[in-house]
Structure 1
Amino acid sequence: EIGELKKEMVQSGVYLQAPHCGGLGGERDSGYDSLRRRMSVWDRLTQTHPAWLLLAVSEEEAGRILLKQPPGVFLVRKSAALQRKVLSVRLEEDQESGTSISHFPVRESQYNQVLEKAMHKCVLKPLKSVIETALHDFQVSSGAWQQLRENLALAKTKKPEELGVDGAVPPDAVAIEKIRQKLLNMRKMYSPEKKVSLLLRVCKLIYTIMQDNSGRMYGADDFLPMLTYVVAQCDTPQLDTEIQYMMELLDPSLLQGEGGYYLTSAYGAMSLIKNFQEEQAARVLSSEARNTLHQWHRRRTAQRSMPCVDDFQNYLRVALQEPGVGCTAKTLVVHPYTTTEEVCSLCAHKFKIPDAENYALFLVTEETSQQLSPDTYPQRIKAELHSRPHAQVFHFVYRRVPNLNLCIPGMVRNGNCPQVE
């Protein structure tokens, strides 16, 4: 980032003017080759000024702050318009333009990930065994460990259809053992990023087996019951601790995409097993598990412009609203250029609606409900809403066009109805 910034400053005619320090030069630093002359270690100690990290200030506020400071002071802020960090610098006043403040957008780069990996190696690697022991001891003392082992043993005796698997052929014994070994290998890793990468490979393997065995594609709603079945067959209660480790220590910026989606799915599968009852297999997440997921998401993504855990790229959460029944929600695979008309056709198929011509897709917020025109793109609408500085609660609802009675908290029959949070 700094290297790119220096290039932009040089191209813009901005230089750091450092007077010559005779006899105090010291070793030159090649990192300043792009400046008018190199700065020595002594120069950097005596000529630089504090850098302020003020992400919440606007460009005007940054200018007012820096005008009160000597040349050389700079701060880093978050630009709502550019959706990236901007470095604002106080310079000597330009005689031609009369300005003394310059703003340089900072290009996000791979250096953040490099630093994250270095922190994992320096901090997490030595503490891995301590963290795992603490988590395990807490589960044992609370009784959750014994309950999990008993529920896993019970769920392992169930057939796939008893766990909610609908038509898909499950992995055979050889594949189950292969998946089990991968989950056991996950315990040897200290990096949450590498753990999630391995979890992603496991989930993709399950998806591939489902499709190869049945000869058709499966959606997100078909995957969770199968993942629950596979986790039960693997009989690895340690996976619960691994999931907690990843959910709490993974960089929130890495929760986007497939890795974050499958991590949430793994949490859902373990929650179903924890709440498993012999007389009635739990096929949907309990309200307590859903609330835990939402609380985790809000805590781990605070002050970040990120999609919801239920709503990653290429996935769209849509609720079917029926009068007197409540809402049923499904996670659909919806690409950025999929139109509302195509999403409605997909909803009619998934929700088994016989008179689809009477239904439409609505964008429901806390205050409004708007029917989307057939040629709009729901994923673009979702991305635009997520990119706003102030987060807004919204839902995509598939319902009959004449019905204007929106779900309100008092009418909620289950955890899928849109409600004001």
Structure 2
Amino acid sequence: MGSCWVSVQPLYGLDSLSVSSVEEEADAHPATPRKKHQSAALPGRVLHRLSAVGSALTSFLSAERRLAKRVQELTQEPASYVGGLVQNFVGHMLRGGAARHPTSTDLLQEIRQMISSLKGYLCESSELQDAWEYGDLEEMDLGSVVEAALYKCVLKPLRDCIYGQLLEFHSRDGSLQKLRDHQLTMGRQSLAELGVTASVPDAPALERIQAKLLQMHQAYSPKKKEAQLLKACKLIYEAMNHGTGEVYGADDFLPVLTYVLVKCDIVAVQLDVEYMMELLDPSQLQGEGGYYLTTWFGALYHISNFQSAMVTRQISIEAQDSIHRWQRRRTIHHNQHNPRRSQVEDILYVSFQEPFMNQKAIPVPAHMTAASLCVICSKKYGVSNPEAYGLFLVTDSTSQLLAGDSRPQQIRSASLKSQSASCCFVYKLKGEDPEAPSEGNGLRPAQEPI
């Protein structure tokens, strides 16, 4: 592959890499009773150290759980800023909003943008501070914990809707039928014709791989999907090296992966790979996970564009070009425009006519005025008389028209710091007699309560 991607060694130690993988394996394989054995007593000092380590680990996991629980509580409060965004966004998608996107990429990008904006807001706001103690932050990856909690709040209720829409998009464009047809054609080819030189999984090994792929498909979290994909890769490497005494590399892996995909539910895998490539945070696309994810993309690309005379042991130039364009869109573009976590908050969600309805995610720098934002809103909502509309700050009981020279981001920041009632920016008709702006805060006096 290109210079951006680093070759990664086979995944021999995968299951020992994280606490979560240990927990998953513990759930899958319940502990069996063991006979007690006599053993020498451990010194008191050793026992004390083990107890201290156990207590620290328990405290760390408890802090993560508290934080995740607090995120979930916030998203379930419809009157809060976060809760209003999440519940209305999910409701909008389930009511047909997902079908209004021109492509599957547009759909997944909007969902990813929502998750990124929510994560940036929560990581920078004071709304999570009561869920942790100061010392917890030194050990905790705050962004990863919030990201995982948002997967549960946003992606879990949308998972079936997203897959239904992806299936609709790709059935309509013919890509899935093309993939199935080529899968049947390649299924009749010999291992030599597929370019396979290593051992391939036997029937029991193939069943274990298919079980991992089924777990991958059923998951709603793209991170958990990636974990199952890596476990499938590990099983493939084990089958390749079984009884040979040789260690095979990436060039040998791709043909065997292609063989495995031909034997599996290739449509589900295709949708899963697209789901992960678009919904994983860009920071999670580096290293081992990103390498193998793009390898699977390359194998699927090869099958989709298969020709009878084509034998490949490397990802094609066309697939590499597609991967680099995707990588540029997901990572380089992201890093250029979001070099710091706080800049995610440049995204402002603006509703149309009613709070939390028909929301648009609009990049609003700190210096942008309400008048400039209204120009953008008039184009996004296609209003024919923009002079009749204005930008309002709506709370539980008031609706205030922002002055043209006010700065929405500053107003939102002030609202967050004061921890006042939840608010929402709404682009709507100003009414027949808009009043003059009040001095000092960039707001017009309250109009009719809502």
TM-score, normalised via structure 1 length = 0.45
TM-score, normalised via structure 2 length = 0.42
Point out the structure with the larger helix share: 2
The one of the two structures with greater contact order (alpha-carbon pairs below 8 A, sep at least 6) is 2
